[in-house]
Amino acid sequence: MEFGWNADDLEFRADLNEFLSEELSGRWHGSTAVLGSPENADYSRRFCGLLADRGWLTPHWPKEHGGVEASPWRLSILSEELWSRGEPRGPQYMNVNWIGPSLMAYGTSEQMARYLPPISRGEVIWCQGFSESEAGSDLASLRTNAVLDGSEYIVNGSKLWTSYADLADHCYLLVRTGDGRQEGISVLLIDMDRPGIEVRKISGVVGEHSFNEVLISDLRVPVANRLGPENGGWKVVREALSYERVGAPRWARASRVLNETMQWALENGRAPSPDVLESVDIASEACEAARLLYYRVIDERAQGKPPTPNGNVARVAMVQAERAVAEACLAIQGAEVMRYQGLANQQIRKSLAAGVAAGTYEIQLNLISRLLLRLPKG
């Protein structure tokens, strides 16, 4: 297959790189940034505002919702360049990738009018309230429940590992509204400053995130804040997750880390042994494989196809690339990687997170075996 960028896309990438070099220099800590810190959340609002002014924050969205109807390839260029620099959009990458599209697919006109404009202007932070202590991989066993009381739901329960909950304006919250497993789940759009929500910080081993526990007691949520049908949230969230899984082109950052770590070795007089070179080759090939499998998903989107299990394949390939680059960094720097607080050190931690967030590596493999290979459930 012949693959190449057209002249418009090349020009766009060049303009974007020029803007990023100017804007990020001295203001952004790049790939070692702690995405969930308050400073970076503030920077995310400034930076996303600047992208929005240029029509670069939600370029793939319809004009009526603040986009310019650009092709998914345009978004892919943006995501590659931003992700490889440590994602200066911060938490707002989720708004652009899947929260906004989910609102457009299932929201009422009132919900779209309220929530989409602030997203497309880069002003608002959302968090994702899915996981609970007994509902991670087995998300459908979630217990946070919402009971109807007139025109409001009363919500009680707790969420775990909620990134950015301490900074967020809104939460895309999964709740139980019925008895069935998948059939008893609904999505509620929550304002985080309402009485009944307590956010407790959790320190995380990965270092890149601020994790939180969100305790919810007698939170009142208008029925008008439900996204999609009551007890129909599983379909809504499955679709949203399929966008989230390939929203972050992790191979782009991994590939940059690999190049920079090799550069570090050369500058520090480390002649790489054959074993090191072999691990660098493996990592480099893993990044390239992930890039092409990711492009296959973008191509499906560009053709207007619904999400397919190729998204799970791309996610698995991205995790493999992250891990292979982490191993290559360890091979290049040896024990020094532990002291070196730079990209390689971060890479090892990020590769751990990559195989857990947005559905674990093993769960992606399960989905591929069931949905793509049609193997029986074990």
List residues binding ligand FAD (CB under 6 A). 127-131, 136-137, 161-163, 206, 209, 353, 356-357, 359-360, 362-363, 366
Helix axes 250-267, 72-84, angle to 10 degrees: 30
Smallest distance from ligand FAD to CB 130, Å: 3
Q: Which amino acid is at 163?
A: S
Q: Are 251 and 287 in contact, with CB atoms under 8 Å apart?
A: yes
Q: Any idea which residue has 């969100």 for tokens?
A: 214
CA distance 104 to 32: 33
Cβ closer to ligand FAD: 131 or 310? Answer: 131
Quote the least distance from Cβ 190 to ligand FAD, whole Å: 13
The sign of the CA dihedral 98, 99, 100, 105 is positive
Residue number closest to ligand FAD, CB atom: 136
Nearer to ligand FAD, 210 or 333 (CB): 210
Of 59 and 129, the one with the shorter C-beta distance to ligand FAD is 129
Q: What is the nearest approach in angstroms of ligand FAD to the Cβ of residue 131?
A: 4
Work out the angle between the directed axes of helices 250-267 and 343-354 (0-180°, nearest 10): 150
- In whole angstroms, how close is the CB of 212 to ligand FAD at the nearest point? 8
Backbone angles phi, psi at 299, to 5 degrees: -60, -40
Task: Quote the least distance from Cβ 360 to ligand FAD, whole Å.
Answer: 3
- 120 and 49 in contact (C-beta within 8 Å)? no
> In the 8-state DSSP scheme, what is residue 370?
I
Residue among 13 and 370 whose Cβ is closer to ligand FAD: 370
Q: Residue 146: what residue type?
A: A
Smaller CB distance to ligand FAD: residue 156 or 366? 366
Up-side HSE of residue 277: CA atoms within 13 Å toward CB? 6
**Residue number with CB closer to ligand FAD (255 or 364):** 364
Q: Are 214 and 239 in contact (CB under 8 A)?
A: no
Give, in order, the Cα–Cα distances in Å from 339 to each of 268, 293, 353.
15, 34, 20
> Smallest gap, in angstroms, from Cβ of residue 193 to ligand FAD?
18
Nearer to ligand FAD, 36 or 67 (CB): 36
Q: How far is the CB of 209 from ligand FAD (least distance, A)?
A: 5
